[in-house]
């Protein structure tokens, strides 16, 4: 079963490879991930953090938008069955966060599109199902277990996640770590688990975990077969805001759920009152072909170590 040793080797910085698809693909094949310092302008990331934080102040989860200080009494009083335990806040608060227009625009940033265009050597499709993690320290929350994204999103195995926090995030605030080289093992059988996704990959003696602190603007990206997990957080009085955004070549298939909103509300509800239309329903004209959902990928399995 997965090790819970939190010792980490540092990320290998691939910033100097930007602009070279061949070198990016070579590094990605070797390590299974790519890490970039300041790929996104800090001001653009801060704009999204501020907009989401203001929503959470209004909703009651935060007492201060700038510092990210959590209203522990408010959050801890929310019954577990009303929490989005994969997200860190209540379901109603998450719907409000999903309505933030700037959050939906950031995944289309030219720096991200250029990266994936070079990496794929193909045109890029941005999944509209963006995930905002707002980890608050609610008693029901558990760290994200070691898992692969593929059983949860399916479609092409060449779907890549961009993970990045919306503020400077030291290890004590629980950023993501990755198991270097694990993408080469293919699909790994799973077991039930607590935490986001409710599954964990059944690991043997794999222990080449890589991670570190993030600054706003840093981006970690990896394909859907790479095993990753959250570093257990020790700081619980401030929120950890982060985004999971997914990209894939437009020529490869996508599973239909990846075209829905992550709050499971309709797009019409999410877009109500928006002032801009450039990122609304963009996938209706040029989405990849659809692939079927495979329930067997989420059935508990066995792995002989």
- Write the pLDDT tens digit of every residue in 246-295: 999 999 999 999 999 999 899 999 999 998 899 999 999 888 999 999 99
List the structure tokens of 65. Answer: 């938008």
Neighbours of 77 (CB within 10 A): 10
Range 104-109, long-range pairs (CB < 8 A, 24+ positions): 104/128, 104/130, 104/279, 105/276, 105/278, 105/279, 106/40, 106/44, 106/45, 106/48, 106/243, 106/245, 107/162, 107/243, 107/245, 107/247, 108/279, 109/40, 109/44
Q: Which of 194-198, 233-237, 293-297 has the highest mean pLDDT?
A: 293-297
Please determine, for residue 5, whether its predicted confidence score (pLDDT) is greater than 50: no
- Assigned CATH class of 12-280: mainly beta
Per-residue confidence (pLDDT) for residue 2, from 0 to 100: 39
**Closest among 104, 123, 106 to 114, alpha carbons compared:** 123
Per-residue confidence (pLDDT) for residue 214, from 0 to 100: 98
pLDDT digits (tens, 9 = 90+) for 106-151: 999 999 999 999 999 999 999 999 999 999 888 888 888 999 999 9
* Cα gap 88→103, rounded to integer Å: 17
CA atoms 90, 91, 96, 98: torsion sign? positive
Q: Residue 6 — pLDDT band, cuts 50, 70, 90? A: low
Residue with tokens 């926090």: 165
Q: Give me the residues paired with residue 110 across strands.
A: none
- Domain ranges in the chain are 12-280
Per-residue confidence (pLDDT) for residue 264, from 0 to 100: 85
H or E stretch at 125: strand 124-126
> Model-level pTM?
0.95
């Amino acid at each position: 079963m997965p090790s819970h040793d939190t010792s980490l080797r540092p990320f290998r910085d691939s910033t100097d490879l930007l602009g070279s698809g061949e070198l990016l693909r070579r590094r990605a094949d070797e390590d299974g991930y790519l890490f970039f310092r300041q790929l996104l302008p800090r001001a653009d990331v801060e704009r999204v953090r501020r907009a989401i934080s203001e929503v959470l102040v209004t909703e009651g989860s935060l007492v201060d938008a700038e510092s990210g200080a959590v209203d522990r009494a408010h959050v801890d009083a929310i019954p577990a069955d009303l929490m989005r335990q994969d997200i860190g806040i209540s379901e109603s608060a998450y719907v409000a966060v999903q309505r933030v227009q700037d959050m939906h625009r950031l995944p289309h940033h030219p720096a991200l599109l250029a990266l994936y265009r070079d990496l794929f050597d193909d045109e890029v499709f941005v999944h509209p199902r963006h995930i905002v993690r707002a980890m608050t320290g609610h008693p029901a929350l558990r760290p994200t277990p070691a898992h692969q994204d593929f059983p949860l999103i399916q479609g092409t195995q060449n779907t890549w996640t961009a993970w990045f926090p919306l503020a400077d995030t030291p290890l004590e605030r629980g950023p993501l770590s990755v198991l270097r080289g694990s993408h080469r093992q293919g699909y790994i059988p799973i077991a039930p688990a607590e935490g986001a996704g409710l599954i964990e990959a059944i690991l043997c003696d794999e222990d080449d975990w890589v991670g570190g602190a993030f600054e706003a603007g840093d981006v970690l990206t990896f394909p859907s077969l790479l095993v990753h997990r959250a570093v257990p957080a020790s700081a619980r009085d401030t929120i950890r805001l982060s985004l999971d955004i997914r990209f894939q070549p437009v020529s490869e298939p996508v599973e239909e759920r990846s075209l829905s909103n992550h709050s499971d509300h309709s797009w019409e509800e999410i877009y109500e009152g928006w002032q801009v239309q450039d990122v609304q329903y963009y996938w209706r004209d040029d989405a990849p072909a659809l692939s079927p959902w495979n329930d067997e990928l989420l059935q508990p399995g066995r792995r002989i170590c």
